[in-house]
Structure 1
């Protein structure tokens, strides 16, 4: 008996939820559309597109003497050393000296700190591959800066570590599409957020709405039983 009563109460609660969503459908739909449209306008017409160009480098064999170049032990040792040096290369690529050299060579109007915010140096998994990415609002400048940074890094490695084992695999090309803003994704996320906000507003409005519309509202708000219901005869020509 108690289980049946609980099921009836759950059914009534679900019915009230659906009724609330239906009554406040305009609020929900309106909030969703407003959020989506505003974000679409901002993404398409306000935010400046940012492009990213990437140069791929490889840390190969270090320079060795002819006496030990062909031994397996030397080759294995070189690979282990190269993997450790790759981490150093990443730090050198973002060092102030290297960034300042890039700025000087390209005559950029920025500080090394500002350039550092545009640069990303990553190691691909557990390999000796280094990926240097540079973001800029100008796609041509993004590619130029990435290639110049790779060039300066190679020179810096030769001077600092006295090795010549870094070479370019793929030079950066001019990107066709911006990496941000992600217009469609931003609009979709804004629509979802607007839907959630709209549903929250719908239940908030319903909570503060004390108007009586149905016999069930009388019982719920006033705690009084409904003895009779007077039909609306207006549509049938009644007075």
Structure 2
């Protein structure tokens, strides 16, 4: 019975300030929608996939003695570092005449190692979809040259060249609005219960019964003043 009364009280508190909950939730969703659609710049991602074979001689890699596939998997991390190296970044910036520093270009670039394969994927993000694709393709070309020189790899092939992405990967507008709605609802509920906790005034006959545990004998209705 006590639990039932508590639930009824919670429902009463929510119903009493339901308008505030709705306003805060809707405002949060509207704000998120405006920011996502009109403020944040769309971010596009272009990617290219490269297959890298083994070096010409395993003995030139020091004490590393592994089978071909295991060797390539270990070297994949090395290849990823070559892609994001300052030398590769500087050459790409120079060839494309980019107004970027090597660090800025590196921050736009990610290298994913395809599990249990000899493939690596170079991904580039930018607000310009054409530029993202061009940078990805230039990175793969420059990487191919460097890895053949440094690692003496004679089998480097571009499996998939980067194409211009048609849709952005960020911001995820609908997801942002949904998250804002949930956060707005949680904040509004917290605010409503906080206001109720701080409010110790008696406003209705139900408040007398609820807080003072007294029965109501009668009530004096409000009278309108006659003109």
Most deviating of 120-129 and 193-202: 120-129
- Give yes or no for the alignment of 1:129 onto 2:119: yes
Name the Cα RMSD after superposition: 2.0
Provide the TM-score with structure 1 as the length reference.
0.84
Count of residues in correspondence between the two structures: 216
Question: Superposition pairs for residues 26-175 of structure 1, below 5 Å?
Answer: 26-63=19-56, 77-175=67-165
- The 2-side partners of 1:47 and 1:82 are apart by 40
Tell me how far apart the structure 1 counterparts of residues 72 and 39 of structure 2 sit (CA, whole Å): 46
Other-structure match for 2:215:
226
> Does the 8 A contact of 1:31 with 1:194 survive in 2?
yes
8 Å CA contact 2:209–2:216 kept in 1: the answer is: no
For 1:136 and 1:153, locate their aligned partners in 2 and report how far apart those are by CA, in whole Å.
20
Could you tell me which runs of 5 or more consecutive residues in structure 1 were left unpaired when the two chains were aligned: 1-7, 65-75
After superposing on structure 2, the runs of 4+ consecutive aligned residues of structure 1 that deviate more than 6 Å are: none
Q: Does the Cα contact within 8 Å between 1:51 and 1:180 map onto a contact in 2?
A: yes
1:200 aligns with 2:220: no
Whole-angstrom CA distance in 1 between matches of 2:36 and 2:118: 37
Query: Which of these residues, 2, 6, 10, is aligned with residue 3 of structure 2?
Result: 10
**How far is the alpha carbon of 1:99 from its aligned partner?**
0.8
Point out the structure with max Rg over C-alpha.
Answer: 1
Q: How far does residue 87 in structure 1 lie from its aligned partner after superposition? A: 1.5
User: CA–CA distance in 1 between the matches of 2:68 and 2:222?
Assistant: 95
* Deviations 1:112-138 (CA, angstroms, capped at 9, x unpaired): 011111000010223221010000110
Task: Report if the CA contact (8 A) 2:54-2:153 is conserved.
Answer: no
Q: What is the distance in 2 between the residues matched to 1:203 and 1:169?
A: 59
Aligned-partner Cα distance in 2 for 1:126–1:22: 57
Q: Which residue number corresponds to residue 62 of structure 2? A: none
After TM superposition, give the deviation of residue 167 of structure 1 in Å.
1.1
Cα distance in 1 for partners of 2:218, 2:49 equals: 79
The answer (yes or no) to whether the contact 2:14–2:192 under 8 Å persists in 1 is: yes
CA distance in 1, matches of 2:24, 2:112: 41
Q: TM-score, normalised by structure 2?
A: 0.88
Q: CA deviation at 1:231?
A: 6.6
